[in-house]
Amino acid sequence: MERLKSRMWRWVTLGLVLIVLAAIATPFLVPISRFIPELNALAAKKLGQSVAIADLRLEMLPSPRVAIHGLRVGARNEIRIDRAHIVPDLPALIAGHKVVREIRAEHVRVQETIPAMLRAIPKSEPGSDAVLIQRVVLRNVTFEHRAFKLPEFDANVELAADLSASFASFVTRDGTLRLSVDPEGSGKARFKLTASNWRFPLIAAPLLFESLEVQGHIDEGQLSLAKVNGRLYGGLLAGKANLEWSGEWRVNGKADLAGVALVPVQRALGKKDPRLSGRLGASSTFSSAAKAPEQLLDALVLDAPFEVADGAWRGVDLSKAAELPMGKIDPGGATRFAELTGKFGLRGRRIKLVDLCIRSPKLVAGGHIEVAPDQALSGKLDLSVAKTAGFIGVPVALAGTTADPSVRLTKGALIGGLIGTLLLPGIGTSLGASAGNVIEGKSGCK
């Protein structure tokens, strides 16, 4: 009897092994690749785009599903998916309902033209051939764009009966950013974004946020950021913004900064040798309009009263202006200050600083500076430099570039210096240079 039971269990075990092996071998025994041309044509009709599938298999484990390999969508392969699984709802399918429990895609590459492709999908009419898809899961998604550099992310989308999203979540593969979206119907949705140690994806301004929280609302053709709070480079950010893309792209908003360290910000923006240090506080308003999102930065208009505390401008020591001979002031050193205030203006890539006021125990200066798109410097500063008898006024002109600034006495200062030398040789040059302020009209700190 025991021998019979042992033999029976041996046959049962062998049978189970054969069943498992058969299930594993099923994808290779069922030649469904012959359906690829028909499936390509059907998908192309539904999407309004060319579709190509490299391989098609039927798999039984861990549950019955169709496996798609090498999927390409679009004339230029705007969507590329290395592997995808379509998992049907078997009980619903047996009952006669076309229900897909899950579509799971891995290693997805999407190009920047995907929004236009989605808008071009023909609207399908409800009918008996309608398929209900309950969930779409994407893994290792890469979004390719000329102006944005997003890290790989995963996405989970729950779909309603009309195939509209009922909930969606996105998480970067490195875990630095999470985004949840709650649709409200009629193209509207609320969303929340949280991030830590996350780099802003705009290639021209890849700023690193220590933390960030954004809450907003999406309406048809419009994105509203009602709350933006963050920490970056030791300081705080608070603001709000609106983005519109119906017709041309438009953005506007405001942002307040407090205590942001300037040196790491400049390095993040591509300045290998930052010239300005200190901690920045500012209250800015901004707007831009362009035909494409990557053109918004070039059309940006930004205005911001600002102040920088306990910093320095490296490249020249303006406090020595009154001690040097007439003409060009030697480069080197740094102009240190306790306070720098003014108004910052940005028009595209052209910068203008007006109502400048620099204060330190050795120097008080005011004036204006302009920075061209090629980083060329221009402007004028009226300096009041500490001397034995008090402060001596010296007007100077700026030239050169932000990387290699050049500071010269203005024509008025040179004329004043010449007058001083003639009237009072030996000590009259600096006093005469002070007269340049009167000749040109003083425009220092108020």
- Rg of the Cα atoms in the chain: 33
User: Nearest CA to 356 among 306, 301, 284?
Assistant: 306
CA distances from 244 to 145, 218, 287 (A): 19, 10, 11
State residue 260's pLDDT score. Answer: 96
CA distances to 336, 342, 437 from 291, rounded to whole Å, are 43, 32, 47
The pLDDT of residue 124? 59
Stated pTM of the model: 0.75
d(CA 1, CA 444): 111
Q: What are 109-142's pLDDT values in tens digits?
A: 988 777 666 666 666 555 546 678 889 999 999 9
The pLDDT score that the predictor gives to residue 308 is: 95
Cα torsion 237, 198, 177, 107: sign: positive
For 172-220, write each residue's pLDDT tens digit. Answer: 999 999 999 999 877 789 999 999 999 988 766 788 999 999 999 999 8
8 Å CB contact between 110 and 148: no
**Res. 328: pLDDT tops 60:** no
Q: Which is nearest to 81 in space by CA: 70, 89, 92?
A: 70
Compute the distance between CA of residue 68 and CA of residue 79 in angstroms, rounded to an integer: 14
pLDDT the model gives residue 148: 74
Q: How far apart are the first and last CA of the chain?
A: 110
Tens digit of pLDDT for each residue in 401-429?
877 777 777 654 443 343 333 333 444 33
